[in-house]
Amino acid sequence: MEFIIALLAVLGGLAIGAGAGYYGRSLVSKKRIGQAEFASTRIVEDAKEQSRAILIEAKEESLELRREGESEIREQRSEMKQSERRLANREENLERRGSNLEKRERSLTESEREAEELQSDLESLKDQALVKIEEVAEMTIGEASEVVMRQAEDDMEHDIARRYRDFEQEATERAQEQGARILATSIHRMAAEVVSEITVTTVPLPSDDMKGRLIGREGRNIRAIEKNTGVDLIIDDTPEAVTLSCFDPIRREVARLAVTKLIADGRIHPARIEEMVNRAKKEVDDSIWKSGEQAIFDAGVRGLNPEVIKLLGRLKYRYSYGENVLQHCLEVSHIAGMIASELGANVKLAKAGGLL
């Protein structure tokens, strides 16, 4: 009996231990599941937060690109309107000159008609004089002929002198009109872009933070840029832009290329600045040579000294009274060639003279 009771007690203890173990494992599993669910929830929330941040950043970049694009479009439209106004003014001037030439042609035609009428009147007067002489009493035919001849000689001398003066004046006017016509035709066949004379260049920045990097610690970067380029770097309140100021357009172009390269590279320090300036100088020198070669090719001029070609290329960066000097030289070369062609002169020599 006691054995049975002891056996039952052992079995009951085992049952209770097994139940307690199962219950404990259940609690541990639930806790782990809860922790896993919490961790997965945090991961999802973090992913959503990152997604929202990426979307916001993408929208901001899109808006910035759109603003830049609209600003560039507005500037281009403004430049196009200015060019259209200048072309309209040129057309008005050409039309006015054409109208003046037409008036002069009509005046010459009227003068020729009056001269013909005077000649006709002279012939009529001669006929009348012959009739009157024949009516004079006691005058032989020889005497009448002599009177007529003397009168005719006097009239002809006076008429020849007057007509000589008229023809001389008419020839002068025709030469002037012909020259004006040639110039008007040559100018009308030329169409060139006119730009404003500038002494400053604006360089866009990706952000205003780049201004501090261009200045550098205690201003060492900006001093290095100005020392190596000879250009003043102006950093003011203009958003996302800096200004390069210099009266030498070639130095200004070198500085623009160097600053643009530094911004793209991101490494801005005195040694890197010197390296980028040297690269920019090499690019500008190559551009000057190519521009000079293109200019003599466009003008159809050959056999120029390399130094002259280089000087022509440098004119690409210079402006005078609002017009690019190299473009102006090409215009003069083309107009000189047209005038030479109209006059039957040496076209190649005229083009070379106009270009130089």
Q: Is residue 193 part of a domain?
A: no
> pLDDT, tens digit, for every residue of 37-67?
777 787 878 777 887 788 788 788 878 888 8
Look up tokens 């203890």; give the residue. Answer: 13
Does one domain contain both 240 and 322?
Answer: yes
Taking 70 as the threshold, does the pLDDT of residue 214 lie above it?
A: yes
Does one domain contain both 293 and 345?
Answer: yes
pLDDT (0 to 100) of residue 194: 41
In whole angstroms, give the CA distance from residue 1 to residue 68: 100
Does one domain contain both 231 and 344?
Answer: yes
Residue 322: φ, ψ to 5°: 85, 5
- pTM, to two decimals: 0.43
Query: Left if phi > 0, otherwise alpha if psi is -120 to 50, otherwise beta: which for 86?
Result: alpha
Does one domain contain both 111 and 142?
Answer: yes
pLDDT (0 to 100) of residue 338: 83
> pLDDT, tens digit, for every residue of 231-288?
998 888 888 888 888 888 888 888 898 888 888 888 888 898 899 889 888 988 888 8
Query: Which whole number is the average pLDDT over 165-194?
Result: 58
Query: Which whole number is the average pLDDT over 294-322?
Result: 78
Q: Is residue 113 part of a domain?
A: yes
Residues 6 or more apart in contact with residue 283 via CB below 8 angstroms: 257
Taking 50 as the threshold, does the pLDDT of residue 197 lie above it?
A: no
Residues 6 or more apart in contact with residue 206 via CB below 8 angstroms: 240, 263
Of the candidates 335, 21, 47, 8, the residue with the CA atom closest to the CA atom of residue 182: 335
pLDDT band at 29 (very low <50, low <70, confident <90, very high): low
Q: Is residue 51 part of a domain?
A: no
pLDDT (0 to 100) of residue 5: 66
273: domain range? 200-355
Taking 70 as the threshold, does the pLDDT of residue 350 lie above it?
A: yes
264 within 8 A of 256, measured Cβ to Cβ: no
Taking 60 as the threshold, does the pLDDT of residue 101 lie above it?
A: yes
Taking 50 as the threshold, does the pLDDT of residue 310 lie above it?
A: yes
Query: Which whole number is the average pLDDT over 12-24?
Result: 66
pLDDT band at 192 (very low <50, low <70, confident <90, very high): very low
How many domains is the chain partitioned into structurally? Answer: 2
Does one domain contain both 184 and 223?
Answer: no
Dihedral, 286, 288, 294, 297 alpha carbons, nearest 10: -110
Boundary residue ending a domain (188, 212, 232): 188
Boundary residue ending a domain (156, 188, 220): 188
222 within 8 A of 211, measured Cβ to Cβ: no
pLDDT > 90 in the chain, percent:
0
Q: Is residue 72 part of a domain?
A: no
Does one domain contain both 270 and 340?
Answer: yes
Does one domain contain both 256 and 281?
Answer: yes
Taking 80 as the threshold, does the pLDDT of residue 35 lie above it?
A: no
pLDDT (0 to 100) of residue 171: 64
Does 33 or 242 have the greater pLDDT score? 242
Q: Is residue 160 part of a domain?
A: yes
CATH number of the domain encompassing residue 259: 3.30.1370.10
| Beta carbons within 10 angstroms of residue 323's beta carbon | 16
CA distances from 215 to 226, 231, 262 (A): 11, 14, 12
pLDDT (0 to 100) of residue 193: 45
> pLDDT, tens digit, for every residue of 147-171?
667 777 777 777 777 776 776 677 6
Q: Is residue 235 part of a domain?
A: yes
Boundary residue ending a domain (188, 216, 250): 188
Q: Is residue 321 part of a domain?
A: yes
Query: Which whole number is the average pLDDT over 319-343?
Result: 79
| Beta carbons within 10 angstroms of residue 182's beta carbon | 17
Taking 50 as the threshold, does the pLDDT of residue 188 lie above it?
A: no
Does one domain contain both 111 and 183?
Answer: yes
Q: Is residue 294 part of a domain?
A: yes
pLDDT band at 329 (very low <50, low <70, confident <90, very high): confident
Does one domain contain both 287 and 234?
Answer: yes
Does one domain contain both 210 and 349?
Answer: yes
Taking 70 as the threshold, does the pLDDT of residue 198 lie above it?
A: no
Does one domain contain both 230 and 266?
Answer: yes
Does one domain contain both 349 and 215?
Answer: yes
| Beta carbons within 10 angstroms of residue 150's beta carbon | 10
For all residues of the chain together, what is the average pLDDT?
Answer: 77
pLDDT > 70 in the chain, percent:
76
